[in-house]
Amino acid sequence: MKIVINGPTTTEAVPGLAAIASEAKLVCAPDAASLGEALPGAEILLGWNFQSRDMQDQWHKANNLKWIHWCGAAVDRIMSPELMTSDIILTNARGIFDSVMAEYVLGYMLSELKLFRETGRLQDEKRWQARLTGKLAGSSAVIFGVGSIGRETARLLRSAGVEVSGVGRYARNDDPDFGTIFTSEQAFGTVSEADWVVGLLPLTEETTLYYNTNFFGTMKQGARFMNLGRGESVDEAALITALEQGTIAGAMLDVFHNEPLDQDRPIWDAPNIVISPHTSSYYAEYEEDMAKQFVKNLARFKEQIPLENVVDKNLGFVPSAS
């Protein structure tokens, strides 16, 4: 069995692969050229570098591919018309990043309400200045994206006393984690009442520039916006205007149209914004956990058992029902 690993230069860069080295031919492909050389005859592609777009250029070299495992929650970097119409199974890293991203959301909320950024500035200036801070319990949040990350975020926020609702493909009123889930068509009503808006949408044609002038204009004055989904979902110019005009109180972005974020991008200078370098999903052991997930699914592949985390290629994500 030939497995091509897109991203690393050596198999040692992927923890845990030694366990399968005796039962598979492992070939590393760190760039597009080496990927093109490695693909012929390969049955499996492990997309270790989930930011890579190499496969889109080398698709024609894949003459025996049966399964792609993408080591990220979002699969837009690997998606192509050829993959969508093929019989190749696509799986992702659903479940790996749920709790840490939920903690990231909660961390931003607490930091803003408890004025931690201002406290740090005052400490640097050696100024003793007491201030009134906010209270998280009793506030409301709407989460766009009700997959596994959104659900874990909803559960964590509920445990902190936040009233949570969600926006997904289908409306329902008895969801165990969100309570009420609205459709995109119903979303503006709940956005106008929420103190926190959390973006966790995958990137699709429908979600590109989803958070735009109309969206931010609908948000409650004094509310804050977070995006940890895909950068292309945010109209950055519209967000800057909303922050400058005080339409919303603040924002936190962890993902951007182009990464790394260029120093001349105006979003850096927007008021009341927290910018992080796509780190909401990173934690000390995440690579070990991603490798374990792949090895576990590889055992299922060999036994011809249905794989876990199968992406609906027409939707671009793993449906919640699965």
Tell how many helices (H) and how many strands (E) occur in the chain. 10, 13
At 105-139, the pLDDT tens digits run 999 999 999 999 999 999 999 999 999 999 999 99
pTM of the entire predicted model = 0.93
**Three-class DSSP category at 102:** helix
At 28-77, the pLDDT tens digits run 999 999 999 999 999 999 999 998 999 988 999 999 999 999 999 999 99
Judge contact between 195 and 222, C-beta under 8 A: yes
Residue with tokens 């910018």: 275
Checking if the pLDDT of 274 tops 90, the result is: yes
Residue 226: which of 265, 260, 189, 191 has the closest Cα? 191
At 223-258, the pLDDT tens digits run 999 999 999 999 999 999 999 999 999 999 999 999
**Three-class DSSP category at 44:** strand
The mean predicted confidence, pLDDT, of the chain is 96
Topology (CATH level 3) of domain 98-275: Rossmann fold (3.40.50)
Topology (CATH level 3) of domain 2-95+284-302: Rossmann fold (3.40.50)
At 195-227, the pLDDT tens digits run 999 999 999 999 999 999 999 999 999 999 999
Whether the CA torsion 255, 256, 258, 259 is positive or negative: it is negative
**Start-end of CATH 3.40.50.720 domains in the chain:** 2-95+284-302, 98-275
Report residue 322's pLDDT band, with 50, 70 and 90 as the boundaries: very low
